[in-house]
Amino acid sequence: MPNQTVRVRFAPSPTGYFHLGSARTALYDFLVARHYNGRFIVRIEDTDRTRYQPDAIPDLLEGLRWLGLWWDEGPEVGGDYGPYYQSDRLPFYQEYAEKLVREGKAYRCYCSPERLEALRAEQRAAGLPPGYDRHCRYLTQQEIAHYEAQGIRPVIRLAIPTEGVTEFDDFLRGHIVVENSLLDDFVLLKSDGFPTYHLAHVVDDRLMEISHVLRGDEWLPSAPRHVLLYRAFGWEMPIHVHLPVILDPSGKGKLSKRKKVLPDGREQFTYIHDFRRAGYLPEAMVNFLALVGWSYDGQTEFFSRDQLIRCFTLEGISKSPSALSYEKLEYMNAAYIRNLGVNDLTGRLLWVFTQQGFQADFDTVFRLTPLIRERIKTLNEAIQWVDFVFTDDFTYDPALLIQKGMDIPMTATMLRAALEALEPLEAFDEPAIEAALREMGARLGVKTGTFLGTLRVACTGKQVAPPLFGTLSVIGKQRVLSRLRRALSALGGLAQ
């Protein structure tokens, strides 16, 4: 390590929105940095101008902030190792690439994309591994002059050893050895003057004094190239940790970036902002994500962010890829919702209701919160549970009023009985409602479930709703009475 301080960077490329897989990497970066009392750095790797997507960056930063992964250095906060956008660091890459050319460790390549394409096609056809044939590695001065005269803008390639092996250590996977003959002279600097990932990240990790590199497993095969690059520069390599990929819930293949629609009609999200909009809690997301590829003791699974910082170690990261379990996420989100204080949950629910265009006020939601807290897996589900509180304009099939074993006359009797029981109530609170209704139910001689079932449909329009007594109290006496009358007349309509 170049120094004693742990410095970890999250280095996303703004080619798409903030993805679940990136979020996991960012979380681990964050946790490593915080656990070892180091620095968490965000660096934007925007060296691909063709795939660049401007709104990816705000999406990313918002996502990080939402998850509570605050960074010490990077966009918007600056730092001593800036700039933190690679597009602002072009001179560095050019300088270092030139240095290697001067030292004979890299060379200019004038091959056209067409030639390279044809070469690859040939190699594939011949069953050979595709790779650059080093055509320009041994050019004479005349040939170079000839190409230059044509005005061709060259790329710069690293001249790698054609024999021997390259070896390195991955923190999780141990010692890895690769034949150099399998590697090719890869591009460091593109013809537009922008660096490739290989050059840019090596230079930046060095200049920013990064101590640990956490990145996806898909980088493992190109790690030897990076080793060779570090060696060409004469630099020591940071500790590398190649994280297991996150698999699709089916366990087949990488988590796709496209939204998938599950058989039950729900969407399978992959972007962080989708989870946010769907009413997932950031603390649940963090907890869940931490466990995708990491475990503490195999027993404990609820961790606050601070506990994660305390417990997280690189040793706990697993080597094998893991399939995403949306059920587990929902379970965990529900658990976090249940553990929220009523005030806290109320605030979050109020936001959701308001967002969805409901005329909700804190007081009403506050009374609703305990009634639905144990029933919702996401904040947004609250809407389906209690929408009838905020509007009288809902419809239902009057046939639902008639409970199992009941008929129209009996149902009408129950509705009238409820009116009779509730009308005289002074305080329309839960205990009063419960007492009145239970007494009336007993007097009618019907089962409580049957009686309340009819009232539930009448007052909420649903067969499944939060506990009735509390719900009625929130709806309010006058509205309850009018809903009961409305049910009665709907029942009358059924009779004809």
Partner RNA sequence: GCCCCCAUCGUCUAGUGGCCUAGGACACAGCCCUUUCAAGGCUGCGACAGGGAUUCGAAUUCCCUUGGGGGCACCA
Question: Where in 306-325 is the site for RNA (CB under 7 A)?
Answer: 316, 318-323, 325
CB 109 within 8 A of CB 148: no
Binding window for RNA (CB under 7 A); candidates: 89-97, 143-151, 261-269, 451-459: 451-459
Residue 421 Cβ vs RNA, minimum distance, rounded to whole Å: 15
Instruction: Please give the residues from 6 up to 45 whose contact with RNA meets the rule CB under 7 A.
Output: 11, 13, 15, 45
Does 142 contact RNA by CB under 7 A? no
Binding window for RNA (CB under 7 A); candidates: 355-363, 394-402, 409-417, 446-454: 446-454
Q: Which is nearer to RNA, 164 or 251 (CB)?
A: 251
Q: How many residues bind RNA (CB under 7 A)?
A: 88
Q: Which is nearer to RNA, 26 or 200 (CB)?
A: 200
Q: Which is nearer to RNA, 400 or 408 (CB)?
A: 400
Q: Which is nearer to RNA, 222 or 354 (CB)?
A: 222
Instruction: Please give the residues from 338 up to 357 whose contact with RNA meets the rule CB under 7 A.
Output: 338
**According to CB under 7 A, which one of 55, 192, 267, 420 is a site residue for RNA?**
192
Q: Which is nearer to RNA, 5 or 280 (CB)?
A: 280
Instruction: Please give the residues from 461 up to 490 whose contact with RNA meets the rule CB under 7 A.
Output: 463-470
Q: Which is nearer to RNA, 49 or 489 (CB)?
A: 49
Does 139 contact RNA by CB under 7 A? no
Q: Which is nearer to RNA, 37 or 250 (CB)?
A: 250
**According to CB under 7 A, which one of 25, 166, 196, 454 is a site residue for RNA?**
196
**According to CB under 7 A, which one of 94, 180, 268, 295 is a site residue for RNA?**
295
Q: Catalytic positions, please?
A: 257
Does 48 contact RNA by CB under 7 A? yes
Does 191 contact RNA by CB under 7 A? yes
Q: HEC profile for the chain?
A: CCCCCCEEEECCCCCCCCEHHHHHHHHHHHHHHHHCCCEEEECECCCCCCCCCCCHHHHHHHHHHHHCCCCCEECCCECCCCCCEHHHCHHHHHHHHHHHHHCCCEEEECCCHHHHHHHHHHHHHCCCCCCCCCCCCCCCHHHHHHHHHCCCCCEEEECCCCCCEEEEEECCCEEEEEEHHHCCCCEEECCCCCECHHHHHHHHHHHCCCCEEEEEHHHHHHHHHHHHHHHHHCCCCCEEEEECCEECCCCCCECCCCCEECCCCCEECCEHHHHHHCCCCHHHHHHHHHCCCECCCCCCCCCCHHHHHHHCCHHHECCCCEECCHHHHHHHHHHHHHHCCHHHHHHHHHHHHHHCCCCCCHHHHHHHHHHHCCCCCCCCHHHHHHHHHHCCCCCCCHHHHCCCCCCHHHHHHHHHHHHHHHCCCCCCCHHHHHHHHHHHHHHHCCCHHHHHHHHHHHHHCCCCCCCHHHHHHHHCHHHHHHHHHHHHHHHHHHHC
Does 89 contact RNA by CB under 7 A? no
**According to CB under 7 A, which one of 58, 78, 129, 164 is a site residue for RNA?**
129
**According to CB under 7 A, which one of 63, 74, 244, 282 is a site residue for RNA?**
244
**According to CB under 7 A, which one of 168, 219, 233, 396 is a site residue for RNA?**
219
Residue 434 Cβ vs RNA, minimum distance, rounded to whole Å: 7
Binding window for RNA (CB under 7 A); candidates: 106-114, 138-146, 349-357, 407-415: 106-114
Does 150 contact RNA by CB under 7 A? no
**According to CB under 7 A, which one of 24, 190, 206, 276 is a site residue for RNA?**
190
